[in-house]
């Protein structure tokens, strides 16, 4: 106990926050008295139980519902129309096809919906529990003489303070649990070093949380990376939906460029040469984003007409033209070598050669002016694929 108190009284942010939570709860408990404090403690425990129960039930429900939703969406045979779509329809097709094709997203959505349903259903029991609990409290107060009332007021405040302290301890535990999840899921996130430096946090997490959830949350960074990758896949799907309608002039240009190509590889190469020599890198757009955080979304049509764009714009234009020429292609996001030993956000393409056993080859038309980046050896050493 002494080591807990010593850790709590150290002047550092986590301990100060926990101490303030406990003290404020104790003061509130003293003001409310025994009955009011007992009621707040009861509903704190009730909320904690319903949250845990809802999470467990939602997990089981999502495991059952996710495959059913996938099979149902597959049967609907949703195809993105090859025409210009409104913003609402773009969002609709992006969501529907992503739920159909991306397992983690589908599980997450079904989990959240199931959790909301179970929480709603359990909330209907709260008034009934409240009625029984208040009836129980009233039945405990049967003596009304003045002397006892004076004593009862002091005793009630003292009891309320004790219950408030217990409630504060519960709230403090929630604070530590939230910090524990945050540090486990985002080990390199903001303020994680300060949290880890807290003696009280280290003692609490080591003795209370790690034995219960440590093994699960040890995989937190892996789960976080999976969520980030799923998000990038959804973003890529959004681009695929937006770019599904190919303007006639871009389609005609793609067919003209590839008309003498006799294989998928030669088609991909011809388009690489054409895009790589005609689209200049838009340094102003890149600097505006890097220095001011201002991003200008750009369609393949704009890139085609202005002959300017950054890596994602070049990759999207290449993908549109490659699909027009009958190639299967995808936009890949990740990190590209910067030339000074570092890496920065980048985008490029991968093309499937159906006439060569379906092999996928990488290419980077954005870098075409600096060398031959059409499926060169060592491509993976300069391009780190993330999606």
- What does the DSSP assignment read for 46-75? HHHHHHHHHHHHHHHHHHHHHHHHHHHHHH
For position 194, what pLDDT does the model report? 81
Mean per-residue pLDDT over the chain, rounded: 81
Give the domains, in start order, of the chain with CATH numbers. 2-224 (no CATH), 246-385 (3.10.620.30)
Query: Six-digit token pair at 168?
Result: 């504060």
For position 279, what pLDDT does the model report? 95
Strand, coil or helix: 188? coil
| For residue 187, pLDDT beyond 80 | no
Query: Six-digit token pair at 277?
Result: 């020599």
| For residue 151, pLDDT beyond 80 | no
| For residue 282, pLDDT beyond 90 | yes
Single pTM value for the model? 0.61
23-27, 46-50, 142-146, 353-357: segment of lowest average pLDDT: 142-146
For position 159, what pLDDT does the model report? 74
- Say which residue, 279 or 152, is predicted with more confidence: 279
- Residues 358 and 327: their CA atoms lie apart, in Å, by 11
Instruction: Average the pLDDT over 265-288 and give the result.
Output: 94
For position 150, what pLDDT does the model report? 47
Q: What is the DSSP letter of 374?
A: B
Alpha-carbon separation of residue 194 from 13, 15, 219 (angstroms):
8, 12, 21
Quickly list DSSP for 110-160.
HHHHHHHHHHHHHHTTHHHHHHHHHHHHHHH-----HHHHHHHHHHHHHHH
Q: How many CA atoms lie within 13 A of 39 on its CB side?
A: 16
Per-residue pLDDT band at 145 (split at 50, 70, 90): very low
| For residue 147, pLDDT beyond 50 | no
| H or E element, residue 219 | none
**How many other β-carbons are positioned within 10 Å of the β-carbon of residue 298?**
18
Beta partners for residue 280, in sequence order: 308
């Amino acid at each position: 106990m002494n080591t807990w108190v010593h850790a709590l009284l150290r002047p550092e942010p986590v301990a100060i926050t926990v101490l303030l939570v406990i003290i404020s709860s104790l003061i509130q408990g003293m003001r409310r008295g025994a009955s009011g404090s007992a009621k707040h403690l009861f509903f704190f425990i009730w909320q904690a139980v319903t949250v845990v129960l809802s999470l467990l039930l939602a997990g089981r429900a999502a495991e059952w519902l996710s495959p059913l939703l996938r099979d149902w969406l597959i049967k609907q045979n949703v195809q993105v129309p090859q025409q210009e779509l409104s913003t609402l329809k773009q969002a609709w097709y992006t969501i529907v096809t992503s739920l159909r094709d991306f397992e983690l997203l589908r599980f997450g959505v079904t989990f959240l919906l199931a959790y909301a349903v179970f929480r709603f259903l359990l909330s209907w029991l709260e008034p009934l529990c409240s009625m029984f609990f208040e009836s129980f409290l009233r039945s405990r107060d049967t003596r009304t003489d003045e002397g006892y009332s004076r004593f009862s007021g002091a005793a009630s405040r003292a009891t309320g303070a004790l219950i408030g302290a217990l409630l504060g301890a519960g709230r403090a535990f929630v604070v530590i649990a939230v910090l524990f999840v945050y540090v486990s899921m985002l080990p390199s996130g903001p303020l994680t070093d300060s949290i880890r430096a807290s003696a009280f946090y280290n003692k609490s997490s080591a003795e209370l949380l790690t034995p219960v959830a440590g093994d699960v949350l040890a995989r937190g960074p892996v789960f976080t990376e999976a969520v980030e990758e799923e998000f990038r896949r959804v973003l890529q799907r959004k681009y695929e939906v937006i770019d599904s309608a190919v303007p006639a002039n871009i389609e005609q240009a793609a067919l003209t460029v590839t008309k003498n190509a006799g294989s998928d590889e030669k088609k991909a190469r011809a388009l690489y040469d054409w895009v790589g020599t005609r689209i200049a890198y838009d340094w102003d757009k890149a600097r505006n984003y890097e220095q001011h955080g201002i991003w200008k979304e750009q369609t393949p049509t704009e890139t085609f007409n202005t002959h300017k764009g950054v890596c994602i714009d070049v990759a999207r234009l290449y993908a549109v033209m490659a699909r027009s020429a009958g190639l299967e292609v995808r936009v890949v996001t990740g990190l590209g070598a910067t030339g000074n030993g570092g890496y920065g956000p980048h985008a490029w393409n991968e093309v499937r050669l159906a006439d060569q056993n379906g092999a996928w080859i990488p290419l980077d038309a954005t870098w075409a002016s600096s060398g031959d980046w059409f499926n060169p050896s060592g491509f993976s050493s300069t391009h780190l694929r993330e999606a």
